[in-house]
Amino acid sequence: MLALLLLVACSPENGLVGDDSLGDTDAPLIDPTTHDGDHDGTVDDDDCAPDDREIHPGAPEICDGVDNDCDGEVDPGFDADGDGYWDIRDCYQLDGEWDCDDTTAAVYPGADEICDGLDNDCNGDIDENDEDDDGLSSCEDCDDHDPFTFDGAAEACDGVDNDCDGDIDEIWDADGDGYSPCNGDCDDDDPDLAPGVGDPCDGIDNDCDGGIDEDFDLDGDGQATCAGDCDDTDPTVYTGAVEICDRIDNDCDATTYENADLDGDGYTICSGDCADDSAAAYPGATESCDQEDNDCDGYFDELTTCWSCTDSAPYLFCDTPASWSDAQQACAGMGLELVEITSSTENTTIASLAITPTWIGANDIAVEGTWVWDDGGSVSYDAFGAGEPDDSGDADCAITNTSGRRGEWSDIRCSSEYQFICE
């Protein structure tokens, strides 16, 4: 009887897996709709963990990183603020990164620290960002990129609010207008003068831009009516302008009349008087040796007698000392020019005629080192001595017979006075 029961119990019809050793390869499959593999009261088909009896629908949810009740949510209720981190107070038995404040979504491990009085990143420090390493966080520092700018820093004259008090360069603002000399105040004793203020027509640079009454200079001559321009529609009329013959008071002095003969010589400025303050100077007057252009021809003292000149054709040797420019003008007034030496033979002749240091026409007044003659022609022949020209003391004009050395040239200050030779 026992043998019969064992045979029946092991038969395939009873739904038990057969023994392969007996040659049975047609064992029936487990039906998940009825089978409960972990014996937790939920069939495998409805159990999200059919091999774990602690996990099944209706199981209590615990803080373990697992969906214990098979509802699709992991540890619901243990992340109160929804920031993705569990509150360590509820999950103290687990390892990992924990939310140090599970009531605030902005607080969790690795969060950005912001100025809110909270330890956002759960590292134990509150509002700790200090970008410029000056000891103050960005919440306390008005410029956390400048280590010299923070509450209590020394105020420097640099156009920056160094001490974070809301004022810029305040200790250098003597007149209290909000601007110091270091940020544009052109007069720190006058609160009405500062960058950006209005610029009334008062002859003063009120806005410190370098211009005076620039909005009131209608003719663009640099002077407004309030600064003395007696006709702000004519750019040739303003205080200090040159009086010209146009029947207008150009210089705004109300006393200058270009048609008046101030020196009583019968000529006015408009009729050709070149010096209406000298009765000895007017067109056609006789030239005399008085350092004036008596005949108003553009030259003064253009007489050989004024310069003690001796004719040694083709040269005119003048013995009266003069500066290079006066010598040049004297020669020009007589229809000549300072001598131009083009050969060693001519140089010897001039040296013998002059004997002592004497101006010649060579000069580098226009371009240093480029020597030209009185008429502008290049100096192709020269007789400069050793080390000359040396441009010592702005020496731009040439003499011959340097220090008694016949025919030797050197450069000398043009304001020096020597005799000269015209041709």
Residue partners of 257: CB distance under 8 A and separation at least 6: none
CA distance 264 to 258: 13
CA 148-153-156 angle, to 5 degrees, is 70
Tally of CB atoms within 10 A around 193: 20
In the chain, where the domains are located? 1-30, 304-422
Specify whether the CB–CB gap between 47 and 55 falls below 8 A: yes
Q: For residue range 114-141, what is the model confidence (pLDDT) as tens digits?
A: 777 677 778 767 666 666 777 676 676 7
Q: Which amino acid is at 359?
A: W
- Residue 117 confidence (pLDDT): 67
Which H or E element spans position 327? helix 324-333
Closest CA to 315 of 422, 418, 399, 420: 422
CA distance 129 to 139: 8
Place of tokens 């006066």: 326
Specify whether the CB–CB gap between 233 and 222 falls below 8 A: no
CA distance 19 to 345: 143
Neighbour-count burial of 340, counting CB atoms closer than 10 A to its CB (0-12 exposed, 13-18 middle, 19+ buried): middle
CATH number of the domain located at residue range(s) 304-422 in this protein: 3.10.100.10
181: left (phi over 0), alpha (psi -120 to 50) or beta: alpha
- Residue 160 confidence (pLDDT): 82
Per-residue DSSP letter, 412:
E
Specify whether the CB–CB gap between 348 and 407 falls below 8 A: yes
Residue partners of 337: CB distance under 8 A and separation at least 6: 328, 331, 361, 373, 374, 375, 422, 423
**Each residue's pLDDT tens digit in the chain (423 positions)?**
333 333 333 334 333 333 444 445 555 688 888 888 888 888 888 889 899 898 999 888 877 778 888 988 877 777 767 776 777 666 655 556 767 776 777 778 877 777 776 777 787 676 666 667 776 766 767 776 778 777 777 777 777 888 787 777 777 778 888 888 877 888 888 998 888 888 888 888 888 988 888 788 889 898 888 888 999 999 999 998 877 777 788 888 876 666 778 889 999 888 889 988 899 999 999 999 999 999 999 999 999 999 999 999 999 999 999 999 999 999 999 999 999 999 999 999 999 988 899 999 999 999 999 999 999 999 999 999 999 999 877 899 999 999 889 999 999 999 999 999 999
279-282 contact pairs (CB < 8 A, 24+):
none
Q: For residue range 187-211, what is the model confidence (pLDDT) as tens digits?
A: 888 998 888 888 888 888 888 988 8
- Residue 12 confidence (pLDDT): 40
CA distance 202 to 206: 9
Residue partners of 135: CB distance under 8 A and separation at least 6: 150
Compute CA 197 distance to the chain's CA centroid, rounded to the nearest angstrom: 23
